[in-house]
Structure 1
């Protein structure tokens, strides 16, 4: 009986050790970097706030709102290009016409992703997550 118990114990120990030494297959998870809205708020407060205001309402008859903005929410790539290239000429936002100039912003792909992710996650916008790769893809496009 002792031999059987010792044999079973040896087998159990061997199986236990085997499970610790056998590599476990895991799936590789690829994370896609997305804009950080906390960092984006910092960029917004330094770069965008003067024209678009703290609450994203813009300045009537001068600078368009970003809050609940149909223009912004309709086309994320256009929004990215606007930050990269600036904007001049007439635009209609939420049914109101604006014709002020926005200068190109000297921001990195990550900063643009951060600030747009912040804007899209604020003030009733659609919650789009912007990635640095999305920004990079729009550089050089008009």
Structure 2
């Protein structure tokens, strides 16, 4: 644990500040913050294909809204955002065979956008995607 110890001269008191306090913040607060950042990333990189509603374009771009693929294939979903996606995938019973270029996002940005799409348009996922989890996903 990284701490700063501050001793106030003449006050005979000691103050310890925990620099890792964010690790102990309620998970919901961390998730909410990540979702907010992810929404901005989605607006910059994803919205043109998957649309503001997350519904995608039928037979062209798969939906993210109420997506069984997204909810059931976490690692594949992270990999698709991190490295791009090509080849057949089945989303909500429909086959998509397209190409999504790698977006060039950092691991923390991938985690944030995953947390946003995992918790939007009828999707719910309390298990936060972390930068560390994304860093372990290899092509």
**TM-score higher than 0.5:** yes
One of 39, 42, 64 as aligned partner of 2:37: 39
1:71-110 Cα offsets, whole Å, 9 max, x none, are 0100221111111111111111000111110111101111
Q: 1:110 aligns to what? A: 108
Q: Is the 8 A contact 2:63 2:91 kept in 1?
A: yes
1:81 aligned onto 2:73: no
Instruction: Give the aligned partner of residue 59 of structure 1.
Output: 57
Higher RCO, 1 or 2 (CA under 8 Å, sep at least 6)? 1
Number of aligned positions between the proteins: 119
The Cα offsets for residues 45-93 of structure 1, whole Å up to 9 and x where unpaired, read as 0100011110100000100000110001002211111111111111110
Q: Does the 8 Å contact 1:109/1:135 carry over to 2?
A: yes
Q: Using structure 1 for the length normalisation, give the TM-score.
A: 0.74
Alignment of 1:1-142 (within 5 A): 31=23, 36-127=34-125, 128-138=127-137, 141-142=138-139
Write the distance in 1 (CA, Å) between the matches of 2:97 and 2:121: 23
Ranges in structure 2 where 5+ consecutive residues have no aligned partner? 1-11, 25-29
TM-score normalised according to structure 2 size: 0.75
Query: Structure 1's 53 and 30: CA in aligned 2 closer, same or farther, altered over 3 A?
Result: closer
- Of Structure 1 and Structure 2, the greater helix share is in 1
Between stretches 76-85 and 36-45, larger displacement belongs to 76-85
| 1:22 Cα deviation from its structure 2 partner | 9.7
Q: Which has the higher strand share?
A: 2
Q: What CA RMSD, in Å, does the superposition of the two structures yield over aligned residues? A: 2.4
